[in-house]
Chains A and B, each alone.
Chain A
Amino acid sequence: MSHGKRKRRQASGVGPEAPELNIMPFIDIFSMLNTFLLVSASFLGLGIIEVQVPFLSNSPELKDLPQRSFVVKVDIDEPGITLVTQWTAPPVDKVEKTFKLNPVEIAQFHDEMIAVRTKVPENDKVDVRVESMIEYEQLVLVLDAIKSLKETDPPLNLPVKDDDPKNRARGSYLFEKVVLGSVIL
């Protein structure tokens, strides 16, 4: 505190000098905290998208397979995305839709995938085939549209298979199993 102020306060005759807060320890703590946080902060969040490739197994065939199951296939090539849905037994009800590889139509494709999942909630598997010249970035965009549920999407009330916390964390998946079929073809 400067002498000038002290003189003025004393001259006013109000009373004893006002207490002064020592903020130096406060600044010390802030400096240390800042340094620690800046060094340990990660400014790029890292996530994962889980995909599978077909695998040949010599384990015995499953006996309780349903007679009629729902199949979802997605083809990604230069013109765009082709979505095919159908049942494995009559009535097949085959539906084919195409979308271009741009953000607007990928968003429409995502909405269509939500409609497909809502129609048959039991099916959580999508078979994806990708053309060789497609960039990895475009593949990830389409995988996002297939797998990830956004915060703005409507709640789907999907069936939960068990109480495994790992599965609960995966509740943000629209389709959990994405198989990249073209890897072995």
Chain B
Amino acid sequence: MSSAGGDSGESLSLNLTPMLDIFSILVTFLLMSYSTDPTNHDVDANLELPDSVTLVSMDEVPSIVVNRKEILVNNKPIVTLENGKVPAAESSQGAIPALYKALKEIADTNKQALIELRGSDAGEKKAKPGEITVEMDKKHKFDLVKAVLRSGQQAEFITYKLLVAKPSVD
């Protein structure tokens, strides 16, 4: 063993092998669990996703987020929830008018983009009803889920991709 700080002239020797071992194991683990999914999304801090065994990966960032406190569309707060429910003043015939309005704007923007992409004849044909990704807290009741989906349905969204947490290592 070398002496520390002595004037014998011997230099200190650090044993780097254990550190290399740890680094190798860590790199191997990270490379194995590394996700190559093209879509990267940070889940809202105010919600917990339900677990699922689905093998289908997320392919687009959620547009509707329903956390424990509020409903957001494209990160813009639309409705503030009261005890996990939509306030009576914000609800009409089982739907949420403010959410419908926000989703209708998205649907119209999508339709306009389709017309610009394919030419004016695309606008004459009835546009195909859209699909949208929804991120929702697992403890919400179906009553709220139904209100969200009904608002979307009125804005011509009929396919919903429900975001879930799947096993991290395949």
Contact = CB atoms under 8 A, between A and B. Distances in A.
Interface string A146-182: 0111100000000000000000011010000000101
Contacts of B31: 37
**Which residue, of B2, B56, B133, B137, has the highest number of chain A Cβ atoms within 10 A?**
B56
A59 interface: yes
Nearest to B139: A135
A32 B153 CA distance: 48
Q: Is the interface of A mostly helix, strand, loop or mixed?
A: mixed
Interface of B: 2, 9-11, 13, 16, 19-20, 23-24, 26-27, 30-31, 33-35, 37, 40-41, 43, 49-59, 126, 129, 131, 133, 136-143, 145-146, 149-150, 152-153, 156, 158-170
Given A55-B158, A132-B142, A140-B52, A2 B58 contact: no
Interface stretch (A22-30, A64-72, A87-95): A22-30
B168 A45 contact: yes
Interface of A: 1-4, 23, 26-27, 30-31, 33-34, 37-38, 40-55, 58-59, 130-137, 139-141, 143-144, 147-150, 169-170, 172, 180, 182-184
Given A46-B37, A183-B150, 8 more contacts: A41-B30, A42-B40, A43-B33, A47-B52, A49-B54, A58-B126, A137-B138, A147-B54
B141 A34 contact: no
Given A37-B30, A41-B34, A141-B50, A47 B142 contact: no
A122 to B, nearest CB: 22
